A and B are shown apart, each in its own frame.
Chain A
């Protein structure tokens, strides 16, 4: 009986992931359709933003961190992934109202398609980061560690995305509120600056999961230092916790989505 349930769960999950991937691929194509530079924008956009922050942010923090360009770029692209995916998730269900009212399409796949879409673009950004690593003579071996870190980061971002997608159906203002919150989080997370000695800011940072993910990635990949077991366990624990919390909230409310959008 249990085996049957597990097999059904795996089959359903595979279907949801497959449909999410198809939606993401279609949206990815549509996004680049008719653009002169097409996929090149995925390289140019973060690069331009990086150069601007490098000049402005570097002046503020005086580039005091070793390998500051790598420090900045990694923080920038990880935060970009978080903000793009979660902002899209606030409208993932409401923007597909027609589809969910006219077909019994899995609601989860609508959220997953947004995640996949930004995973594609994040991989392109990672190629630039790899280029920087080679240029700054960083350790390519350490770069491999990014994949397990990014895997748990995806779980964490997915959890938040599922929560936001469900809440977005009930609160029309959520996307505006979330955008403001993300701007605040951007300044509270040491992306372009180095963690200041202020105790208050340090305390806030410890409560900020983005700080932990970005910090762990920087420590391992750029500086070749293994963070403590506690930090790693926290990252894994909170990723899984957020994913399950997000999925269970979404599951609890999804049956009402079609009549509310």
Chain B
């Protein structure tokens, strides 16, 4: 029996969100001067329980606003739950897009070191990985160019290469991917990036992957859950869950 990497019991989360109340002119004037908006409570996660085992790749699907990102952020420790328990074993990494921490006014070399630090590597470790990152990105002629002079495709290449190589080096025990698989950009690099990502998630970490791309969920996940209004509507084989999601979406 493989060990549990993530254990979630009766998880609850609510947010105070702003909304427009039907109120009089005076009340509206007061709130516009004070800058404070009227808020109401919104339950985003409502009593979710599941486990993820070591080496398992679990997919999460659901409509926008169903609670996918919030769930991942709670597991990552970015948000605090309002109820229930989250237990994780080992080092957790949450990834939502690439290029977080990139500074456009710095050179590619400086940015690789900066992103390495953000991902928990020291400068010696980044130095070891540096050539590999540059080679994978295909941007060896631009090492000393400032990133604001890059095209958006070049930024994607740099961000993906640096992130994936640094993460690969630090070997997280739990990997949470929020709408992240592949890199975007041109076809050549996208294929290379998807291949790298697939290699990466099959290395033995427990992976939770939230995505609207159903092909990716079907191809790479061992199991999937369907989230609906902050609750698990169905849990099981990715093919069956995807069919259920399609049926409910019609």
Q: Is there contact, CB below 8 Å, between B35 and A104?
A: no
Q: Is there contact, CB below 8 Å, between A102 and B100?
A: yes
A215, CB-defined interface residue at 8 Å:
no
Cβ-closest chain A residue relative to B81: A255
Pick the contact of A22: B80, B97, B113 (CB < 8 A).
Answer: B113
Cβ-closest chain A residue relative to B116: A22
- Comparing A36-44, A93-101, A132-140, A149-157, the segment that makes contact with chain B is A93-101
Cβ-closest chain A residue relative to B146: A33
How many chain B residues touch A (Cβ–Cβ < 8 Å)? 27
CB distance from A98 to the nearest CB of B (A): 7
Q: Is there contact, CB below 8 Å, between A256 and B80?
A: yes
CB distance from B216 to the nearest CB of A (A): 20
B78 surroundings in chain A (CB, below 8 A): 100-101, 103-104, 258
Q: Hey, what's the 0/1 contact readout for A76-99 against B, CB within 8 Å counting as 1?
A: 000000000000000000000011
CB distance from B208 to the nearest CB of A (A): 14
CB distance from A8 to the nearest CB of B (A): 13
B92, CB-defined interface residue at 8 Å:
yes
Asked whether A30 and B96 contact (CB < 8 A) given A104-B77, A172-B35, A258-B73, the answer is: no
Bound: A98/B77 CA distance, A: 16
B139, CB-defined interface residue at 8 Å:
no
- Contact residues on A (Cβ < 8 Å of other chain), bracket: 20 to 34
Q: Is there contact, CB below 8 Å, between A103 and B94?
A: yes
Q: Is there contact, CB below 8 Å, between A103 and B101?
A: yes
Bound: A92/B95 CA distance, A: 22
A225, CB-defined interface residue at 8 Å:
no
Q: Hey, what's the 0/1 contact readout for A1-38 against B, CB within 8 Å counting as 1?
A: 00000000000000100110011001001100110000
A105, CB-defined interface residue at 8 Å:
yes
CB distance from A150 to the nearest CB of B (A): 25
By DSSP majority rule, is chain A's interface helix, strand, loop, or mixed? helix
A98 surroundings in chain B (CB, below 8 A): 100
B9 surroundings in chain A (CB, below 8 A): none
Q: Is there contact, CB below 8 Å, between A30 and B105?
A: yes
Q: Hey, what's the 0/1 contact readout for B55-99 against A, CB within 8 Å counting as 1?
A: 000000000000000000100111110000000000011111100
Q: Is there contact, CB below 8 Å, between B79 and A258?
A: yes
Asked whether A104 and B94 contact (CB < 8 A) given A19-B118, A22-B113, the answer is: yes
Bound: A33/B113 CA distance, A: 18
Q: Is there contact, CB below 8 Å, between A22 and B94?
A: no
State which residues 142-172 of A face B: CB under 8 Å. Answer: 172
Bound: A34/B146 CA distance, A: 11
A259, CB-defined interface residue at 8 Å:
yes
Pick the contact of B101: A18, A33, A99, A258 (CB < 8 A).
Answer: A99
Bound: A103/B100 CA distance, A: 8
CB distance from A39 to the nearest CB of B (A): 16
Give the B-binding residues of A (Cβ under 8 A).
15, 18-19, 22-23, 26, 29-30, 33-34, 98-105, 172, 255-256, 258-259
Give the A-binding residues of B (Cβ under 8 A).
15, 35, 73, 76-80, 92-97, 100-101, 103, 105-106, 110, 113-114, 117-118, 120, 122, 146
Chain A to chain B contacts (Cβ below 8 Å), 16 pairs: A19-B118, A22-B117, A26-B103, A26-B106, A33-B105, A33-B106, A98-B100, A99-B100, A103-B94, A103-B95, A103-B96, A104-B76, A104-B78, A255-B80, A258-B79, A259-B15
Closest 10 CB pairs of A and B: A22-B117, A255-B80, A102-B96, A30-B105, A258-B78, A102-B100, A104-B76, A33-B105, A26-B114, A103-B100
